[in-house]
Amino acid sequence: MAPSIYTGIVTTSISTPTFMFSTNEAGILLWSGVCISSTTTASSGTNSIMLSSLSNGTYNNCYVTLKDLANNT
């Protein structure tokens, strides 16, 4: 079964914002778009990930995919 992940629009007024999301499975994080992070794993439940530096603003092109241990995305 593929893991589920909740994501949203990222709005920041600080240079290194935190991205919070919930997932029902642990796995590998695959980042794309303008939001990236050196964090590459997530645990089941709520995760808080520090993103790489961003300018102040709202970003709707931040993508993260979670691949579980069975390679489901």
* Average pLDDT over every residue of 23-47: 90
Q: What share of the chain is helix, strand, coil (3-state, %, to 5)?
A: 0, 45, 55
Is 12's pLDDT higher than 70?
Answer: no
The answer to whether 10 and 59 have CB atoms below 8 angstroms apart is yes
Q: How far apart are CA 54 and CA 38, in angstroms?
A: 14
* Average pLDDT over every residue of 19-48: 89
Within a domain: 5:
no
| Portion of the chain with pLDDT greater than 90, in percent | 21
Within a domain: 72:
no
Give me the amino acid identity at 3: P
pTM score: 0.73
Number of domains in the chain: 1
Within a domain: 1:
no
Nearest residue to 65 (alpha-carbon basis) of 42, 31, 33? 31
> Domain range holding 45?
10-67
Strands 45-50 and 18-23, how do they pair? antiparallel
Within a domain: 22:
yes
